[in-house]
Amino acid sequence: MRIRPFSILMGPASTGLGIARRTRRGRSKERFQVSCLIVTALLFVPSVGRRADGKTVGPPEVAWKAMTYQQKKAYMKEAVAPTMKPIFQSFDAKKFKTFNCATCHGADGADRKFKMPSHDIHPLPNTEEGFKAKLKSEPTWPKWTDFMAKQVEPAMGKLLDLPVFDPKKPVQGAFSCGACHRLEAAKSE
Ligand code: HEC
Ligand code: HEC
């Protein structure tokens, strides 16, 4: 039987006995030292997308669009998901009880290399009139829209260090609803 790394991490109290017993069979002590070395080495391997000081690389130090795919992925995991989770949960604790990459990227997010917009988030009408009609016909949409515009967009804009889309002052590369939502296909009248 191997010495489980788990007991090594749990501290000497739990490993002591096990080692004493196993060293009688020779070689095990050596194996124990080797596993210690491996554990120590793993603890010091800098993970992808991290700076030497352990902080995840990301905006504003490195512009979002200048980041590599791996850096973006790490930043999503270390900064975006943990920051956005309580925001979504405070709006609807039940719906967002489980909050992870798939919440924004959809069930096939990982397969599609996290390309946005998501296939699973409800599409939005592609015209202002269409959107206004939805706000009237869907009783839940006004409060969702309010939440999206006042909380989700500004928080994401800050995380990515991108300006939030403002119809009065449209700028290139601004962060908007379309970063997550697809737009409904244009319908001919
Ligand atoms: C709150 C919503 C949200 C969550 C949660 C989230 N993401 Fe993202 N993610 C986005 C948005 C929005 C973009 C696109 C940003 C842009 O470029 O406009 C994005 C982009 C990405 C990209 C870059 C994709 C590309 O175009 O190359 C990767 C990789 C990524 N996310 C991975 C993840 C992973 C992994 C997780 C889970 C740990 C995650 N995301 C969780 C919203 C989210
Ligand atoms: C960071 C990603 C993200 C951005 C940006 C975003 N949304 Fe959302 N939105 C979501 C998620 C996740 C849901 C919940 C999943 C769903 O309902 O499809 C959602 C749900 C909604 C819903 C409820 C749809 C339903 O299921 O009935 C509306 C309406 C909505 N968003 C409108 C907007 C508008 C308008 C904007 C821009 C002002 C916007 N969203 C920006 C991620 C986003």
Residue 187 has pLDDT above 90, yes or no: no
User: Ligand 1 centre and the CA of 185: distance in Å?
Assistant: 23
Mean pLDDT of 12-23: 39
How much is the average pLDDT of 185-189? 58
Inform me whether the pLDDT recorded for 22 exceeds 50.
no
pTM of the model: 0.80
pLDDT-derived band at 45, boundaries 50, 70, 90: very low
Quick one: pLDDT at residue 88?
A: 98
Distance 25 CA to ligand 2 centre (A): 62
Partners of 175 in beta bridges: 164
Task: Look at residue 6 in the predicted model and tell me its pLDDT.
Answer: 41
Mean pLDDT, all residues of the chain: 81
Residues near 3 by beta carbon (within 8 Å), at least 6 away in sequence? 15, 18, 19, 22, 28, 31, 32, 35
How far from the centroid of its chain's Cα atoms is residue 100's Cα? 6
Q: Residue 42 C-alpha to ligand 1 middle, in angstroms?
A: 27
179 close to ligand 2 (CB < 6 Angstrom)? yes
Q: Which residue's alpha carbon is at the smallest distance from atom 41 of ligand 2?
A: 177
Confidence of residue 78 (pLDDT cuts 50, 70, 90): very high
Minimal CA–CA distance to 177: which of 186, 189, 166?
Answer: 166
Over range 40-46, report the average pLDDT: 47
Distance CA 146, CA 162 (A): 20
Nearest-CA residue for atom 26 of ligand 1: 115
The finding on whether 118 has its CB within 6 A of some atom of ligand 2 is: no
Q: Between these two residues, 165 and 36, which has the higher pLDDT value?
A: 165
CB 153 less than 6 A from any atom of ligand 2: yes
Contact by Cβ (8 Å): 99, 81: yes
The yes-or-no verdict on residue 145 having pLDDT over 60 is yes
User: In this model, does residue 173 exceed pLDDT 50?
Assistant: yes
Residues 6+ apart with CB under 8 A from 119: 106, 107, 108, 112, 182
| pLDDT value at 102 more than 90 | yes
| pLDDT computed for residue 97 by the predictor | 98
Looking at residue 181, its amino acid is H
Q: Is the pLDDT of residue 158 over 90?
A: yes
CB-based burial label for 76 (10 Å; 0-12, 13-18, 19+): buried
Mean pLDDT of 143-170: 95
Distance between CA atoms of residues 112 and 104, nearest Å: 13
CA-proximal residue: ligand 1, atom 36 (nearest): 101
Secondary structure of 12-49 as H, E, C letters: HHHHHHHHHHHHCCCCHHHHHHHHHHHHHHHHHCCCCC
Nearest-CA residue for atom 38 of ligand 2: 149
Portion of the chain with pLDDT greater than 70, in percent: 69
The reply to whether ligand 2 has any atom less than 6 angstroms from the CB of 180 is yes
How many angstroms separate the CA atoms of 31 and 102, rounded? 41
* Among 19, 33, 12, 87, residue whose Cα is nearest residue 1: 19
Q: Is 96 in the pocket of ligand 2 (CB under 6 A)?
A: no
